[in-house]
Amino acid sequence: MREIASRWQADASALDPALPSERKVARIVERHLRSLSVEKKVGQMIQAEIANATPMDAAEFALGSVLNGGGSSPAGDKRASVDDWLALADAYHDASRRRGASRDGVPILWGTDAVHGHSNVYGATVFPHNIGLGAARDSDLMCCIAAATAREVVATGIDWTFAPTLAVVRDDRWGRTYEGYSEHPELVVEYAQRVVTGLQGVAGDPGFLGPGRVLATAKHFLGEGHTTDGHDQGDVACSEETLRDLHAGGHRAAIAAGVQTVMAGFHSWHGTKVHGHEYLLTGVLKGALGFDGLVVSDWDGYLQVAEDRREACAMSVNAGVDLLMVGVDWRQTYDDLLQQAVAGVVPMSRIDDAVRRILRVKARAGLFSSPRPSQRLCAGDRTAVGHPAHRELARRAVRESLVLLKNGGVLPLRRDANVLLAGDGADNIGKQCGGWTLTWQGTGNDNDDFPNGMSIFEGFAQAVAGKGGTATLSPSGEFTGPAPDVAIVVFGENPYAEGDGDRRHLSFSAHDSEPLAILRKFKERGVPTVSVFLAGRPMWVNPELNASDAFVVAWLPGTEGGGVADVLFRGPGGEPQHDFRGRLSYSWPRHALHTPLNVGDIDYSPLFPYGFGLSYRDGRRDTSRLDEADAAAGIPAVDEHRVSGWTYPR
Ligand code: GLC
């Protein structure tokens, strides 16, 4: 361990054991640990999905935790109300505290993917995905977003979010590129500390994990963004030094900020699944880096460690996983682990260490002394979910995330202009939001699923209202009568999540040629165009850039589409009201196969470099005509034959 620690430059853990609160935590932990049978200890190590485990199951098996996976909600109702979420949280809490006649059972933990706002919940504020927040380069903003998200999560009675994602993304073909802040560790490290603090509060302060705060998760440990060819759940072949120096900074910063949970990644390192990697999970994370919270598996991730599920379960727990996130069959996993514990395949010392960590996190979160969720401060605050202040914060985040790649002089727009909004993203809040929104993949949503949202078109209509201008919606770009003064063509990737978003190359028009046709038709008719590109990654869009007078990258902006118009229009005095401030946190490819492409590469030659972004102060900055030969011509955009690392029954 000493040798590992020296190589990993161990950091001091954030929570000082001498703190009075830590001494109280230790007493609670030891008292409850002593009171638990081996069956109850195993129950504490199981996290079941709310669709598969009732509150009664939680009581009977002393389940340590539940989660709602992407798209899962009370009674499977996508439009479940805050009261519905809260009632279910109360039911699980009450059941977990009940132990015979007493009420001193171990309280249950509920985890959710509030990864860009509380985005599973109807009416919640959906913030830009991390790739856009990376472009904003604003760590104060990150802390505010995290705190606002925590308030919305607490309002629904939930204790824990599986965020932030701390991936340093090295190949943009990866379907989770947009969940990362950047390709470079500097931003990931800076943001990690701010987001964890925004979610949990300042470690060691009285308010730490107090009212209005939730547990955070550093995920996915370690190096997930470096898989070969960007395959989700694939193999990472980089050196240990690269893992340490390129990928571990965010996790170290999160640990130093007091993060209480870490999620293991689905990927493997040099052919060994992280979920079974004792060196990484125990030697490095818990030993060298001093992490004393709990390690949670990813969705059935432990099952990938070996063919036999009972063997896999034991290998994963022995490697350092403390809490098993079970997609469906939690009873089987419970039986598997109990049998392996009784047989001594998983030593009782490992079981006790895992349960100690789980109890420690619950005690630090104050759960042993908290009332039921609905009676906690900030819980049940229906006004918190989609609060106007949160929406304004999200709109500010949208403004700050926009990156201007080209401005042929058509921006900023006058508010008395006649504007036509074209493209399938113009009035499509679901497309604005991307994956991890109401549903796992972010698909199947329409505008009335977002009562507290605004489409980009609605933002334009708001901008010209009463100013003598007009905003007309025409997704096809067709119009009759006089030509518009300018056409805004909003297009981009359709929502996806995880491996479903893996691509074989970065050519946009290879899987959607419609926007280019629309842009070219406007050009033929002499109508100036502004492209607004919705994407979870940089893509090869040279033809679309050539056909646009201005090109704005909006990433996946979330529910506050009005933030786009805020920047594209002049203010009342005719000056730009908000200038572009977004700067690329991912390098932009010169051609469709130009990946991996990362700042610092020896032969680094992007179309637009890391840190690039124009502003109005730069004046007219056209680009010379770009090469339109598609290097990916004939290559399917999606690898139909990709053997997905894992497909889950969602
Ligand atoms: C998923 C993701 C992980 C998420 C978990 C629960 O498979 O990999 O990021 O937190 O399942 O939804």
pLDDT tens-digit map of 511-523: 899 999 999 999 9
- Number of H helices and E strands in the chain, helices first, is 20, 17
Ligand 1, atom 7, lies closest to the CA of 299
Q: 359 vs 9, 20, 61, 347, 603, CA distance in Å?
A: 28, 17, 16, 18, 50
Place of tokens 């009674």: 75
Q: Which ligand 1 atom sits nearest the alpha carbon of residue 498?
A: 8
Q: Which residue, by CA, sits nearest to atom 6 of ligand 1?
A: 69
Which helix H or strand E contains 486, and what residues bound it? strand 486-492
| pLDDT score at 11 | 67
pLDDT band of 132, cuts 50, 70, 90? very high
Judge contact between 556 and 429, C-beta under 8 A.
Answer: no
Q: List the residue whose alpha carbon is closest to atom 12 of ligand 1.
A: 69
Report the relative pairing of strands 272-273 and 261-264 from DSSP bridges: unpaired
pLDDT band at 573 (very low <50, low <70, confident <90, very high): confident
> Quick one: average pLDDT of 552-570?
98
> Which position has the higher pLDDT, 644 or 575?
575
Section 401-407 average pLDDT: 97
Statement: residue 413 has pLDDT above 60: yes
| Per-residue model confidence as pLDDT tens digits over 8-62 | 877 667 788 888 889 999 999 999 999 999 999 999 999 999 999 999 999 999 9
pLDDT at 561: 98
Predicted local distance difference test score (pLDDT) of residue 326:
98
pLDDT at 650: 40
CA 160 to ligand 1 centroid distance, Å: 13
**Could you tell me the two tokens for 373?**
């969720």
CA distances from 602 to 111, 241, 588, 591 (A): 42, 18, 16, 18
Whether residue 515 contacts residue 491, with contact meaning beta carbons closer than 8 Å, is answered with yes
d(CA 10, CA 585): 28
Residue 112: pLDDT band with limits 50, 70, 90: very high
Tell me the whole-structure pTM to 2 decimals. 0.97
Across all residues in the chain, what is the average pLDDT?
Answer: 95
CA angle 228, 268, 6 (to 5 degrees): 105
Distance 115 CA to ligand 1 centre (A): 10
Structure tokens at 205: 């302060």
pLDDT at 350 exceeding the cut of 50? yes
> Is there a contact between 577 and 463 (Cβ–Cβ < 8 Å)?
no
Q: Is the CB of 113 under 6 A from ligand 1?
A: yes
Please work out whether the CB of residue 301 comes within 6 Å of at least one atom of ligand 1. Answer: no
Weakest-pLDDT range from 401-405, 424-428, 436-440, 620-624: 620-624
- pLDDT beyond 80 at 2: no
**Residue 104 pLDDT:** 77
How far apart, in whole angstroms, are the C-alpha atoms of residue 295 and residue 303?
16
Using the predicted structure, report yes or no on whether residue 644 has a pLDDT greater than 50: no
Provide the pLDDT for residue 645: 44
Pick the catalytic residue: 171, 172, 224, 298?
298
Q: What is the mean pLDDT of residues 566-585?
A: 94
pLDDT at position 480, please? 94
Query: How far is Cα 222 from Cα 167, in angstroms, rounded to an integer?
Result: 8
pLDDT (0 to 100) of residue 497: 98
User: Atom 11, ligand 1: which residue's CA is nearest?
Assistant: 299
Q: Which of 418, 442, 421, 417 is nearest to 432 (CA)?
A: 442
Mark whether 498 is an active-site residue: yes
Residue 572: what pLDDT?
A: 82
The number of the ligand 1 atom at minimal distance from the alpha carbon of 70 is: 12
pLDDT of residue 641: 54
Task: Name the percent of the chain in helix, strand, coil, to the closest 5.
Answer: 40, 15, 50
pLDDT computed for residue 500 by the predictor: 96
Establish whether residue 330 lines the binding site of ligand 1, counting it when its CB lies within 6 angstroms of any ligand atom: no
Structure tokens at 546: 């050539």
Bridge pairing between strands 235-236 and 470-473: unpaired
pLDDT beyond 50 at 649: no
CA of 299 to the centre of ligand 1 (A): 6
